[in-house]
Chain A
Amino acid sequence: MSASKICVVVVSGSLERLQMAAMVASVAAVSEHEVLVFLSMNALPHFVKGAAAAAPAEGEMGRLMAEKKAPPFKMLFEQAAALGSARIYPCSMAMDVLGVDKAALEDYLEEATGLTRFLDLASGGQVWTF
């Protein structure tokens, strides 16, 4: 039984927002929801293979999460795709701006997707924006 469609739009590159987006996507994906994730703006560079820069914390919670053993947000997104059925789409505009192709991005991401297609895919679903 699919409970509902949940669309997670991630545009921030901050640790707290990426972490919360990953938590929503992963738990929803393993709880029989249909999950679509759209990565754009400052979120996308974190999904380039070998990305060196750690996501910066906005505040105390982010710093504490980095110190303690919170599951890394990229691992949660990967689990959302592997253990659930989340589909994670990189924004084609952000890829053009960054100058990267699909091969440069983490393997669990889907094909480059523009807003027109994502809006169509997201039609009728809840939208969570980070």
Chain B
Amino acid sequence: MAERKIVDGRGSFCPGPLMELIAALKTVEVGDELEVLSTDKGSANDIPEWVNKVGHEYLSTREENGVWYIVVRRKK
């Protein structure tokens, strides 16, 4: 079963959470999932755009108490 790793970008601003996601993607296997935690709404919009652009898989976004949880899967 694919692993899911948490990337805690809370408290940072654009493009901090995105850059943390990209660094984390290099440390996981193809097929693994990453869940980015962000308090920056701009990043919650930007991360799915980036994921789709470069060919990974965007799975979901939910918001809870001012924190966005964005789940993506490494595809390559």
Residues of A bordering B, CB below 8 Å: 23, 26-27, 30-32, 65, 68-71, 76, 79, 83
Report chain A residues within 8 Å CB of B54. 30-32
Report chain B residues within 8 Å CB of A26. 15, 19
User: Are the CB atoms of B50 and A30 closer together than 8 Å?
Assistant: yes
Report chain B residues within 8 Å CB of A65. 13
User: Are the CB atoms of B15 and A31 closer together than 8 Å?
Assistant: no
User: Are the CB atoms of A83 and B12 closer together than 8 Å?
Assistant: no
Complexed CA–CA distance, A31 and B46 (Å) = 12
Most chain-B CB neighbours within 10 Å: which of A27, A68, A76? A27
Given A30-B50, A31-B50, the answer on whether A79 and B12 have CB atoms closer than 8 Å is: no
Report chain B residues within 8 Å CB of A32. 53-54
Complexed CA–CA distance, A125 and B16 (Å) = 26
Residues of B bordering A, CB below 8 Å: 11-16, 18-19, 22-23, 26, 50, 53-54
Most chain-A CB neighbours within 10 Å: which of B14, B16, B53? B16
Nearest CB on B from A50, distance (A): 24
User: Are the CB atoms of A83 and B13 closer together than 8 Å?
Assistant: no
User: Are the CB atoms of A70 and B23 closer together than 8 Å?
Assistant: no
Complexed CA–CA distance, A27 and B17 (Å) = 11
Q: Rank and list the top 10 A-B pairs by shortest CB-CB distance, nearest first.
A: A71-B16, A70-B13, A69-B11, A30-B22, A79-B19, A83-B22, A27-B15, A69-B12, A23-B15, A26-B15
User: Are the CB atoms of B50 and A71 closer together than 8 Å?
Assistant: no
Apart from A30-B18, A71-B19, list 18 A-B contacts with CB within 8 A. A23-B14, A23-B15, A26-B19, A27-B50, A30-B19, A30-B54, A31-B54, A68-B13, A69-B12, A69-B16, A70-B12, A70-B13, A71-B15, A76-B19, A79-B23, A83-B19, A83-B23, A83-B26
Report chain A residues within 8 Å CB of B11. 69
Complexed CA–CA distance, A23 and B46 (Å) = 13
Report chain B residues within 8 Å CB of A23. 14-15
